[in-house]
A and B are shown apart, each in its own frame.
Chain A
Amino acid sequence: MHDSIKESLTMRSTSAKREFRGKFLAMFCTTIIIILVLSLIGFIASKGITIFVSDKVNIIDFLTHSIWSADKTDSQGRPLLGALPMIMGSFSVTFLATIIATPFAIAAAVFMTEISPKLGKKVLQPVIELLVGIPSVVYGFIGVSVVIPFVRNTFGGSGFGILAGTFVLFVMILPTITSMSIDALKAVPRHYREAALAVGATRWQTISRVVLRAGAPGLFTAVVFGMARAFGEALAVQMVIGNAMLLPQNLVSPASTLTSVLTMNMGNTVMGTTANNALWSLALLLLLMSLLFNTVIKYIAKKGTLK
């Protein structure tokens, strides 16, 4: 017998159906993200290891030799692929830019959180937000039209080189480090400061011995984030670094970074050739460095949470 009441009671309601569909959609989108990340790493890794697998390039040689010319071979018939000039270039611009930017960033963060929050919020905060938003090619253009002539006239050489790259990256990572440092210092509980002031510390003593110490893990994270950004920046650096695949002799001689070589040469080599595959190895190196920065940030976050 057909029982419509029983049917309507045991049937899934429209609401339940919608819920099922909605949850499915949300999970579907989430799956896309995971697949995306896995395939990104997978594809770049599989292209990046080609020269080590099929051309038998030695990984140690790849990282420590300084001659990059895929059409020449060494005594064992392996292509000459030494990425040291690019690795050196990338690390030098990253470290130099970070070393200059960090004091400024922390000073700005201290200014905003400890010294004059009012003025900081009115002037410094919007300034930093705007700096974050400026596209990297604009920094590159300023590098070419202002920084290069400045370096050339002050330090000699052609102007293109690590020093110019450092200046451009300094301005680029400054807002990143600053805004994260502000968050780090804001997270330091107020009673730490009050305790320090109550025992007679001056403001600077409070800042240097209490606030900066307590905020140190957050500040480290900020610096590592800045380094990651500097290491991965491509176009702005490529425009001012000079693009010579040689070991940098000094700070004003033309050099290259992993990103600049990728930017310049990916279009000039034919897919599937050794020269092209070697570029994918550089891309893999860049990817691995980015994963490393990520791991360091996670590690600091785990170790250094304020208790």
Chain B
Amino acid sequence: MKKAKTIDKIATGVIYVMATVIVLILASLLLYILGRGLQYVNWHFLTSKAESFSAGGGIGIQLFNSFFLLILSMIISIPIALGTAIYLSEYSSNGRIASLIRTSIEILSSLPSIVVGLFGFLIFVINFHIGFSILSGALTLTVFNLPLLIRSIEDALRSIPNSQREAGLALGLSKYETVIRVIIPDALPAIITGLILGAGRVFGEAAALIYTAGQSAPPVDFTNFNPMSITSPLNLMRPAETLAVHIWKVNSEGLIPDAVAVSAGASAVLILAVLLFNLASRYLGNFIYTKMTGNK
């Protein structure tokens, strides 16, 4: 009897220690990155262009590229994900076709991102002759992002009680109209939370991009708004190294003398962006729901 109690106490103690270790790991990770990197982050660092061989380069173009790629891939993937999620949650019965679709999504979501990147390289860069470009990168990120988006949107749609669907049908709306006018607005906060979480993942992704969006960031002229011009930031066909790819490249090539400073600063910016996405996903969904329904 006594022995069992002693073991119980020891085991509880061990579990407490292990849980604390995990918290300590994260705390030290965050403190290290922010403590080491934030000292390099200033307006000059965030806006100036990167240097290839000398110190003092910034991350301006990379930062812009990251956001541009994120927005572009979201524009492509949201409609497809929404359509598939609607099909899965509203139309498909649990037959063979549904299980085929589910298996496809599971396979897609479990693929290593480097494999997705190589597929993008093979299809978009080489077979479609798009080359290393923002467009190739955005399409590849779409492949990478779709399974996650589909799953979160489908969960959001499924969490809406069936009485809402019945109410829509009872008013004489078709199934599709019910989905668009009743179910999606109701599920919107959860959908937005899922989208932002997906955005955070896309923002930090690098392995899928090194062979699709490329590893170089040619200078762009931020006053040039002609999307056909190669120096325009809006040009879809220019190679676009993102922030995450930049960190990898600076570290593995080590051609610039201040590699550690640049990657520390860029890591800090990346972490801050991810933290921001995380916070936003928590609050924005609720905020929009309150706005839409007028509830306090």
Measured CB to CB, the residues of A under 8 A from B are 15-16, 18-19, 21-23, 25-30, 32-34, 36-41, 43-44, 47, 103-104, 107-108, 110-112, 115, 120, 123-124, 127-131, 133-138, 140-142, 144-146, 171, 174, 178, 202-205, 207-208, 228, 231-235, 238-239, 259, 262-263, 266-267, 271, 280, 283, 286-287, 290-291, 293-294, 298
Q: Choose, from B44-52, B221-229, B233-241, B260-268, the stretch at the interface.
A: B260-268
Name B7's closest neighbour in chain A (CB-CB).
Answer: A204
B16 within 8 A of A: yes
Expressed in whole angstroms, the minimum distance between the Cβ of A272 and any Cβ of chain B is: 10
On chain A, the residues within 8 Å of B247 by CB distance are: 137-138, 140-141
* Residues on the A chain within 8 Å of B107, using CB: 37, 41, 290-291, 294
Separation of A37 and B275 alpha carbons in the complex (Å): 32
How many angstroms from the CA of A180 to the CA of B100 in the assembled complex? 24
- State which of A115, A127, A204 has its C-beta within 8 Å of the C-beta of B23: A127
Q: Are A29 and B174 in contact (CB under 8 A)?
A: no
The segment from B24-32, B67-75, B159-167, B288-296 that touches chain A is: B24-32
Known: A19-B176, A136-B206, A146-B32. A110 touches B15 (CB 8 A): yes
- Identify B83's interface contact among A25, A203, A232, CB under 8 A: A25
Interface assignment of B158: CB less than 8 Å from any CB of chain A: no
Prevailing SS type, chain A contact patch? helix
Residue of B nearest to A208 (CB): B11
Tell whether, in the assembled complex, residue A293 and residue B114 are in contact, meaning their CB atoms are under 8 Å apart: no
Q: How far is the CB of A204 from chain B (nearest CB, A)?
A: 4
Instruction: Find out whether the CB atom of B150 lies under 8 angstroms from the CB atom of A33.
Output: yes
Q: Which residues of the other chain, B, contact A283 by a CB distance below 8 angstroms?
A: 114-115, 118
Instruction: Identify A202's interface contact among B7, B88, B108, B112, CB under 8 A.
Output: B7
* Residues of B close to A137: CB separation below 8 A: 204, 206, 244-245, 247-248, 251, 267, 270
Determine if B170 is an interface residue (Cβ-Cβ < 8 Å): no
Q: How far is the CA of A291 from the CA of B110 in the complex (A)?
A: 8
* Inter-subunit contact A135/B204 (CB<8 Å): yes
Chain B residues near A112 (CB-CB < 8 A): 19
* Chain A residues, Cβ within 8 Å of B82: 29
Q: B14 contacts which of A107, A290, A293 (Cβ < 8 Å)?
A: A107
> Once the chains are docked, how many angstroms separate the CA of A283 from the CA of B274?
29
Residues of B within 8 A of A208 (CB): 11
Q: Is B119 an interface residue (CB 8 A)?
A: yes
Nearest CB to that of B254 among chain A residues?
A: A144
Given A34-B104, A43-B119, A294-B106, A263-B210 contact (CB < 8 Å): yes
Residue numbers in B under 8 Å from A207 (CB-CB):
11
Q: Indicate whether A141 sits within 8 Å of B264 (C-beta atoms), given known contacts A25-B83, A36-B108.
A: yes
Whether the Cβ atoms of A138 and B270 lie closer than 8 Å is yes
15 A-B Cβ contacts within 8 A? A19-B174, A22-B180, A25-B83, A26-B90, A29-B87, A30-B84, A37-B108, A43-B122, A124-B22, A127-B27, A134-B204, A141-B267, A204-B12, A235-B114, A271-B126
B194 to A: closest C-beta gap in Å: 14
User: Which residue of A108, A141, A267, A271 is within 8 Å of B251 (Cβ)?
Assistant: A141
Q: Is the beta-carbon distance between B5 and A232 smaller than 8 angstroms?
A: no
Partner of A33, one of B27, B101, B110, B263: B101
* Size of the chain B interface, CB-CB below 8 angstroms: 90
Complex contact B11–A47 (CB within 8 A): no
Measured CB to CB, the closest approach of chain B to A117, in angstroms, equals 12
Report yes or no: B101 in contact with A138, Cβ–Cβ below 8 A: no
Nearest 8 CB-CB pairs, A to B? A232-B112, A135-B204, A29-B83, A22-B176, A19-B174, A107-B18, A26-B87, A202-B8
Q: Fill in one digit per residue for B118-148: 1 if any A CB lies within 8 Å of its CB, else 0.
A: 1101110010000000000000000100100
The digit string for B68-111, where 1 denotes a CB below 8 A from any CB of A, is 00000000000111111011101100000000110011111011
Told that A26-B87, A130-B26, A232-B111 touch, could you supply 10 new A-B pairs with CB distance under 8 A? A22-B179, A23-B175, A33-B84, A37-B104, A110-B15, A135-B270, A137-B244, A138-B247, A204-B4, A259-B112
Cβ contact within 8 Å between B84 and A130: no
B284 within 8 A of A: no
CB–CB A104/B26 < 8 A? no
Check: B42 CB closer than 8 A to any chain A CB. Answer: no
Residue of B nearest to A146 (CB): B32
B21 sits at the interface (CB 8 A): yes
The interface residues of chain B lying within 8 Å CB-to-CB of A123 are 23
| A36 CA / B7 CA spacing, docked (Å) | 53
Which A residues lie within 8 Å of B182 (CB)?
none
Is B177's CB under 8 angstroms from A18's CB?
A: yes
Cβ < 8 Å to A, chain B residues 195-251? 200-201, 203-207, 210-211, 215, 244-245, 247-248, 251
Residue of B nearest to A127 (CB): B26
Closest chain A CB from B199 CB (angstroms): 11
Contacts A22-B179, A30-B88, A294-B107 given; indicate if A263 touches B173 (C-beta within 8 A): no
List the B side residues contacting A234 at CB < 8 Å: 112-114, 207
Question: A18 to B87, alpha carbons, bound, how many Å?
Answer: 15
User: Which residue, of A15, A29, A107, has the highest number of chain B Cβ atoms within 10 A?
Assistant: A29
